[in-house]
Amino acid sequence: MVVVAPRLRTGTDALGASRLGAARLALSRVRSGPWLIFWIVIVAILVLPILLFLLVAVSPRLLGQGDAWFTLDAFRQVLTGSLVRGALDSLGVGVTAGVLATGLGAAVAWVVVRTDVVGRRWWAGSMFALLLAPSYLVALGWERLLEPAGILDLLGVPDAAPRALLYGPVGVVVVLTMKGVPFAYLALSGALRGLGEEFEVAARVHGGGRAAAARIVASLVAPACWSAFAIVFAESVSDFGVAATLANDAHFPVATFTLYQAIDSFPVQFPQAAAVGWVLMAMAGLALVAQTRALRGRSYRVLGGRSRPARRHHLARPAQVVVVAAVAVLVAVGLGVPTIGAVAASLINGLGSLVGSHQLTLANYSRVLQSPALRSPLLYSAELAAITATVTAVLGVVAARMLSTRGGRVSGKVLDLLLLTAVALPGIVFAAGYIFTYNLPVVNSLGIHLYGTTSLLVLGYLATALPSTSRVLLGNVSQVQESLREAGRVHGSGMVASWLRTVLPLLARPILAAWVLTFAGTLLELPVSQLLYPPGHAPVSVGITKALASYDFGGGTAMEVVAILVALLGVALVWGLFRLLAPSGWHRMGGGTS
């Protein structure tokens, strides 16, 4: 029997092993460094501001806002007296707008997907245009038409009856319904495209008429209907644009403006504002609970190997006229009429005041382009929108990659939960959380001085844009196989170079689309801008509302029109540069995943 003595490490071997271990540790730190930075950003922009802000509602002393370690006084104030009216108004408006928008969105989706109506692509495009239009601009367009001494008054058109409807619950519901129709359309059009026609045929074969077939289709797309209702309801109760413009002018209080007033008052009522934030979150949860209970115990799996695409119904000439007219009226109410109101108001001299000739003129546009008070907010917002869109696109790709990684990592599940929660949070809650968190003495003692700076405003924009952007990019990123990047590494490329050469061409168009959507949305964003803008640097949305509050309707609406044109010009410029400068292969491959 041969016994082999263990080999003793010499000093050289031990030194080599220690160096190898140190090298591996350093490499692991380098690899984990970007992920650590990513999680620090997520915690700083999504977790801490919201968590601390909501916590102050039940424990004000913990955060230096009162004497009680645990109390429900803030909730008692919110749910009693005049404050409860705002919550009830928001609940009623959300339910009404949700039901109406779901019905109208279903009708538009049916017309576009299941019929041969004239101009189907135009009607589908109008839904996306309405989706991008900020709610406060839609409301302001209607106000310019129907307000006293407004466009219709100057034209001598009787408008007392529609004005009374606009400045009240009816007007608020109409504007929010129009803003909710695109969400319902997107949710239901996809469901109708995937639903075959065999169910309708079966109903007709067994003696059912068109009404019976319609009931069967409606029952089969119930999940999409409930999803549409939940989305529109959550968007309506959390909307700040209509609350700060039309609802405020009509003296119709809603929850989001109640929260804003608590933050904008002196002294600031953080516990009450946080309690309103809890109420808004609870309202969004109500819609999800209702959806879950309505769909419990039922199966809606209708796609299979024998499913056949549904054929488009042919519309006779009279039906074509009726359908086209109905959809045109819907688009006009949601987008066309407010646009006409804004453009017309911007061309009138002295609108909103007794001074001026009230004649058509381009002087308002000249003031916007020449006056620093009106021009600077537009340039400031354009710069911040470009920065936000770029950072959001980068972080969105990182988040989407983490969410799509196989193996179900805990970090991915935690990130998924955080992003889903953030999507449901109103922008006004994010802004209030940032004001509270980054103004705490403990934060300032750590050397973090962000309150009242442009950096905090950008972080607020980023917090509201990142959750939805990452969800949009998730489908595209999940289609890219890891073997592509690994193949680049095998052929000598580094980590970054392999990603740029193999993955970026596939994701170029989806990333660019996400950048464009974020840029356009941030440029005209209102709630975060209203609460977080630094002194002396008002974004364009704040500049518009200030001009209108000073009864400079011509200058304010001219700024609206110019801002929208800048957004469209920025979108066209970015896509044009991409088509001119990007390799031709990027166009084909990018289109394959988008």
In the predicted structure, residue 11 carries a pLDDT above the cut 60: no
Q: Tokens 């029109």 appear where?
A: 561
Report if residue 4 sits inside a domain.
Answer: no
For position 97, what pLDDT does the model report?
Answer: 92
Report if residue 585 sits inside a domain.
Answer: yes
Range with the lowest mean pLDDT among 76-85, 402-411, 431-440?
402-411
For position 592, what pLDDT does the model report?
Answer: 42
Calculate mean pLDDT across residues 287-298. Answer: 61
28 or 465, greater pLDDT: 465
120 or 108, greater pLDDT: 108
Indicate the pLDDT class of residue 21, thresholds 50, 70 and 90. low
Nearest to 397 by CA among 405, 408, 409: 405
DSSP E strand stretches across 445-565: none
SS3 585: helix
For position 517, what pLDDT does the model report?
Answer: 84
In the predicted structure, residue 219 carries a pLDDT above the cut 50: yes
Could you tell me if 356 and 212 lie in one domain?
A: no
Could you tell me if 220 and 279 lie in one domain?
A: yes
561 or 301, greater pLDDT: 561
Could you tell me if 373 and 476 lie in one domain?
A: yes
For position 96, what pLDDT does the model report?
Answer: 93
Could you tell me if 293 and 368 lie in one domain?
A: no
Indicate the pLDDT class of residue 387, thresholds 50, 70 and 90. very high
Indicate the pLDDT class of residue 40, thresholds 50, 70 and 90. confident
Could you tell me if 430 and 556 lie in one domain?
A: yes
Q: Which domain holds residue 458?
A: 347-594
**Tokens in use for 259?**
């929260």
Indicate the pLDDT class of residue 34, thresholds 50, 70 and 90. low
In the predicted structure, residue 450 carries a pLDDT above the cut 70: yes
Could you tell me if 227 and 154 lie in one domain?
A: yes
Which of 258, 274, 297 is the last residue before a domain boundary?
A: 297
For position 385, what pLDDT does the model report?
Answer: 92
Return mean pLDDT, the chain: 76
In the predicted structure, residue 179 carries a pLDDT above the cut 80: yes
H helical segments located in 265-304? 270-295
- The residues pairing with 348 across neighbouring beta strands, listed in sequence order, are 360
Span 565-575, pLDDT tens digits? 888 888 888 88
Which of 264, 297, 330 is the last residue before a domain boundary?
A: 297
Asked whether 151 and 341 are in contact (CB, 8 A), the reply is yes
Span 307-333, pLDDT tens digits? 455 667 778 888 888 989 998 999 888
Indicate the pLDDT class of residue 221, thresholds 50, 70 and 90. low
140 or 205, greater pLDDT: 140
What global pTM score does this model have?
Answer: 0.76
Report if residue 327 sits inside a domain.
Answer: no
Could you tell me if 485 and 568 lie in one domain?
A: yes
Report if residue 478 sits inside a domain.
Answer: yes
Count of alpha carbons within 13 angstroms of residue 427, beta-carbon side: 25
- Break the chain down into helix, strand, coil percent, rounded to 5: 75, 0, 25
Which of 92-96, 155-159, 203-207 has the highest average model confidence (pLDDT)?
92-96
For position 502, what pLDDT does the model report?
Answer: 64
For position 18, what pLDDT does the model report?
Answer: 53
Asked whether 247 and 255 are in contact (CB, 8 A), the reply is no
In the chain, what percentage of residues exceed pLDDT 70? 74
Range with the lowest mean pLDDT among 44-58, 69-83, 191-205, 453-467?
191-205
Span 233-271, pLDDT tens digits? 888 888 888 888 888 888 888 888 888 887 777 777 778
Could you tell me if 279 and 407 lie in one domain?
A: no
Could you tell me if 259 and 401 lie in one domain?
A: no
Span 57-71, pLDDT tens digits? 888 777 777 777 888
Handedness of CA 14, 19, 25, 31 (dihedral sign): negative
Could you tell me if 292 and 351 lie in one domain?
A: no
Report if residue 431 sits inside a domain.
Answer: yes
In the predicted structure, residue 208 carries a pLDDT above the cut 80: no
Report if residue 21 sits inside a domain.
Answer: no
Q: Which residues contact 366 (CB under 8 A, 6 or more apart)?
A: none
Could you tell me if 187 and 289 lie in one domain?
A: yes
For position 172, what pLDDT does the model report?
Answer: 92
Asked whether 232 and 210 are in contact (CB, 8 A), the reply is no
Q: How far apart are CA 11 and CA 16, in angstroms?
A: 9
Report if residue 310 sits inside a domain.
Answer: no
Span 512-539, pLDDT tens digits? 888 888 898 888 888 888 888 888 888 9
Residue 137: CATH number of its domain: 1.10.3720.10
Span 476-500, pLDDT tens digits? 676 565 655 555 555 555 556 666 6
407 or 77, greater pLDDT: 77
How many domains, the chain?
Answer: 2
Cβ atoms < 10 Å from Cβ of 167: 20
Could you tell me if 291 and 357 lie in one domain?
A: no
H helical segments located in 239-269? 241-242, 248-249, 255-264
Q: How far apart are CA 340 and CA 515, in angstroms?
A: 29
**CA distances in angstroms from 576 to 65, 84, 581, 582, 588, listed in the order given:** 52, 51, 9, 10, 16
Report if residue 38 sits inside a domain.
Answer: no
Which of 297, 329, 359 is the last residue before a domain boundary?
A: 297
